[in-house]
Amino acid sequence: MALVNIKINGKDYAVEQGLTILEACRSVSINIPTLCYLKDLNAIGACRICLVEVKGARSLVASCVQPVSEGMEILTNTERVRNARKMNLELILSDHDKNCLSCVRNQSCELQKLAVEFGVEDANVFEGKAIHYEKDTSSPSIVRDNNKCVLCRRCVAACERQQAVGVIGPNARGFDTHIGCAFEKNLADVPCINCGQCIVACPTGALTERDDTAPIFEALNDPEKKVLICTAPSIRATIGECFDYAPGTDVEGKMAAALRRLGFDGVFDMNFTADLTIVEEANELIERIQNGGKLPMITSCSPGWIKFCEHYYPDFTDNLSTCKSPQQMFGAVVKTYLAEKNGWDPKNIVFVSAIPCTAKKFECRRDDQCAAGEGIYDVDYAITTRELGRMIKRAGINFRELEDEPFDSPFSIGSGAGAIFGATGGVMEAALRTAAETILHKPLEKLEFDDVRGTAGIKRATYKLGDLEVKVAVASGTANADRLLKAVESGKENYHFIEIMACPGGCVNGGGQPTQPASVRNTVDLKSVRAKVLYDSDQNKEYRKSHENPDVIRVYEEYLGKPGSHKAHEILHTSYVKRGK
């Protein structure tokens, strides 16, 4: 590793050649504030908050884009630097909606934090023209409010570089520059996949999820309604962050306790239908392999990926597993099996899912998602981890002081295979555990399929199952899915089974997860620390294979018959649309 000798604030350092000033300073524990910068995603020097002095340079330089060089002398904390950063903040605030108290990002806004740090006491130092934008509320998942936008372009980078969608970008020029869709179309009118990675990247409240908490509170107060909720596998690993727990803290028991105190009539674990999905999906995979069905079969549990496929790879919709996602399966089972079992009218059931995903809001109203009858949607509302956190706070529940409580029966059991659904590669590993034992007719000696674990964007593996050699691939982030599908489409790569998650790292990094500032995202591998909770849960479960889950077995025995049965297809399977761009 080649080194260069530099001086920072009068002290000598040897740092890696090729680093930017920002990276070099952080490598020696000297922090430089940023707003538009996001590691590995966005480094464009637009906000000018990371300005530093460099000896010999005529003007201050943006440290996030300026590389270090031999003998460079850098000053990061002079009066000139501090004044410039403060003035740039004041300029940004001059055209910013400053209704901070009512903003969903109040106390988690990076602009607000910087204003406090740099002592911006008057946010109206620079008075003048201000542009007012109408909110774009057309999307079922995402709300865009350009009055709070700082033009950092982090959302643009997430949409284009990370997700290969690119439906948003800077429109107009100069003072009129704003982030929007081509030809000023609404988000609902472009091939947005609703993944919400733009929200995760946004440092302010310019992008948020559509808030569905009000009608849920209304339903909870309606004595005629039976209001039930299930929580996705990854929520237990992330909701603690809404209450100041460190990333990677498992708060499953407190979460269940909080949901009961909100007033839900049933608090269920989506791990159950993750297992149900795997049993159906593994059966479908084996059937396709043995009977010449469409291969590769591709997973269907990520609605952002499904919409990406429908828009950008419509020919691959025939390869998608017909299984509904675990969210939709849960609602379907509740409004058919559980409703019949308990004598409930499905029309009086309000089923809610707490999920890491903004695209699930779109999925709720997809066609072919009404197992209990036309107009009775499997899932009524899908709320993000962030929305659930806000509900708990608004109800005055002291989350940190709650004692752990279990999930409710009859769907309280989830296997370890269901638990790992929330991490990239988890669906593949869970399916392989069931498919392998079905094909081999004997228990596996080792349940871990290590080749498909980890946070790499694309993973490939081949497994020998008796006489059958099964080739699999895993991709997370639709830009990686794009690369993988191009290789399959061209014939360069061939697989039996592919897992795709829309969000990089899987659901643990979903668009509905708690927002973390760039200062955390640049230094903590959130995908890994959150995923570790799920893999630890898998290790500690009594059941680690989906097909051995007693609750799943009972539902088949009492209602569905067997995996892949006609009734199972009516309730647990769905169809897709070739949308195109």
- Domain assignment of residue 182, yes or no: yes
DSSP state of 346: G
Identify the three-state secondary structure at position 11: strand
Q: Is residue 166 domain-shared with residue 230, that is, in the same domain?
A: no
Neighbour order of strands in the sheet with 61-62: 11-16, 3-8, 73-75, 51-54, 61-62
Cα(215)–Cα(195) distance, integer angstroms: 23
Q: Is residue 69 domain-shared with residue 130, that is, in the same domain?
A: no
Q: Please return the burial class of 245, using the count of CB atoms within 10 Å of its CB with bins 0-12, 13-18 and 19+.
A: middle
Q: How far is CA 88 from CA 37, 49, 125, 268, 492, in A?
A: 15, 7, 11, 49, 50
- Domain assignment of residue 94, yes or no: no
CATH of the domain at 38: 3.10.20.740
Torsions phi, psi of 88, nearest 5?
-65, -40
- Domain assignment of residue 349, yes or no: yes
Cα(115)–Cα(49) distance, integer angstroms: 11
Q: What pLDDT, on the 0 to 100 scale, is given for residue 1?
A: 77
How far is C-alpha 320 from the geometric centre of its chain's CA atoms? 21
The domain boundary residue, chosen from 208, 223, 247: 208
Q: Is residue 194 domain-shared with residue 269, that is, in the same domain?
A: no
Q: Which range marks the domain in which residue 41 is found?
A: 3-77
470 bridge partner residues: 463
- Domain assignment of residue 45, yes or no: yes
- Domain assignment of residue 429, yes or no: yes
Identify the three-state secondary structure at position 71: coil
Q: Which residues, 6+ apart, have CB-to-CB distance to 518 below 8 Å?
A: 34, 35, 37, 38, 39, 110, 203
Cα(95)–Cα(97) distance, integer angstroms: 7
Q: Spell out the alpha helix ranges (H) of 357-425.
A: 359-363, 385-394, 416-419
Q: Which residues, 6+ apart, have CB-to-CB distance to 441 below 8 Å?
A: none
Q: Is residue 312 domain-shared with residue 387, that is, in the same domain?
A: yes
Q: What is the mean pLDDT of each run of 10 residues along the chain (581 residues)?
A: 94 96 96 96 96 95 97 96 96 92 95 95 81 96 98 98 97 95 97 98 98 98 97 97 97 98 98 97 94 96 98 97 98 98 97 98 96 96 98 98 97 96 97 94 94 97 92 98 98 97 97 96 96 96 96 97 96 95 79
- Domain assignment of residue 578, yes or no: no
How far is C-alpha 465 from the geometric centre of its chain's CA atoms? 33
Cα(427)–Cα(429) distance, integer angstroms: 5
The domain boundary residue, chosen from 170, 190, 208: 208
In b/e form, how buried is each residue of 104-122, taking b as 16+ CB within 10 angstroms?
A: bbeebbbbbbbbeebebee
Cα angle 352, 356, 358; round to 5: 80
Q: Is residue 179 domain-shared with residue 53, that is, in the same domain?
A: no
Q: What pLDDT, on the 0 to 100 scale, is given for residue 530?
A: 98
- Domain assignment of residue 231, yes or no: yes
Strand pairing class (178-180; 169-171): antiparallel
Q: What pLDDT, on the 0 to 100 scale, is given for residue 125?
A: 81
The number of distinct structural domains making up the chain is: 3
Q: Is residue 383 domain-shared with residue 467, that is, in the same domain?
A: yes
CB count, 10 Å around CB of 519?
13
Half-sphere exposure for 536 (CA within 13 Å, toward CB):
14
Q: Is residue 338 domain-shared with residue 426, that is, in the same domain?
A: yes
Q: Is residue 196 domain-shared with residue 290, that is, in the same domain?
A: no
Q: Is residue 228 domain-shared with residue 186, that is, in the same domain?
A: no
Q: Which residues, 6+ apart, have CB-to-CB distance to 331 below 8 Å?
A: 351, 353, 371, 377, 378, 379, 380
Q: Is residue 191 domain-shared with residue 62, that is, in the same domain?
A: no
The domain boundary residue, chosen from 171, 187, 208: 208
CATH of the domain at 292: 3.40.50.1780
- Domain assignment of residue 167, yes or no: yes
Type of residue at 213: T
Strand pairing class (497-501; 297-298): parallel
Q: Is residue 274 domain-shared with residue 378, that is, in the same domain?
A: yes
CA 548, 552, 558, 559 dihedral sign is negative
How far is C-alpha 335 from the geometric centre of its chain's CA atoms? 27
8 Å CB contact between 515 and 108: yes
Cα(464)–Cα(415) distance, integer angstroms: 24
Q: Is residue 173 domain-shared with residue 272, that is, in the same domain?
A: no
CATH of the domain at 147: 3.30.70.20
In b/e form, how buried is each residue of 333-349, taking b as 16+ CB within 10 angstroms?
A: bbbbbbbeeeeeebeeb
